[in-house]
Amino acid sequence: MTTVTIEAGGRKVEVSNADKVLFPGDGITKRHLAEYYAKVAPTALPHYRDRPLTLQRFPDGIGTDGFFQKNAPDHFPDWVARAEVAKADGTVTHAMANEAAVLVYLADQGCITLHLALARADTPRYPDRMIFDLDPSDDDFGKVQEVARAVKQALDARGLPSFVQTTGSRGLHIVLSLDASADVD
């Protein structure tokens, strides 16, 4: 088992089992994922900052069943920001990626996909984004691209700021910015 230390945002984060292959078809290891997260952090963090995360973890790689995790475990370091969000029968304490080191740490946890809340932690009932989630019904990605262009053009024609984002799977998201003035209801 190889452990490496990756510096991200002024913190040194240990990545254990760094040679563990997470993407068998491409030979991408945990180390590769952690280094990638550190590299894209300057671009990604403005989107992640102050948003509760739902983590999609694949500790044994994408060839096995992964799982979703909402609650930030007690073993997460203190420097991983957390947000307590109300739910029907209590609360959930989500992790938040407010700094580059958190992205690297989550890669060490086998977290491949980070699902962002539509609202910031301090205003959980007032979303500042809306997602059009486009996934193909078959293997034809061209269909997704065509619909994404049509949705983007319709939003642009109405003066609604949006952008296209790849998903963790095989689709696209059209992200529409909202002003967080309306309650989710």
DSSP state string for 155-185: HHHTT--EEEEE-SSS-EEEEEE--S-S---
Q: So what's the pLDDT on residue 136?
A: 85
Q: Pick out the chain residues at pLDDT < 50.
A: none
- Burial class from Cβ neighbours inside 10 Å (0-12, 13-18, 19+) for residue 22 reads buried
Q: So what's the pLDDT on residue 169?
A: 67
Q: So what's the pLDDT on residue 170?
A: 76
Q: So what's the pLDDT on residue 24?
A: 94
d(CA 126, CA 182): 6
d(CA 127, CA 52): 12
d(CA 17, CA 32): 12
Q: So what's the pLDDT on residue 138?
A: 87
Model-level pTM? 0.90
Backbone phi, psi, residue 95, to 5°: -80, 155
Q: So what's the pLDDT on residue 139?
A: 84
Q: So what's the pLDDT on residue 149?
A: 93
Q: So what's the pLDDT on residue 161?
A: 87
Radius of gyration (Cα) for the chain, nearest Å? 18
Q: What is the DSSP letter of 82?
A: E
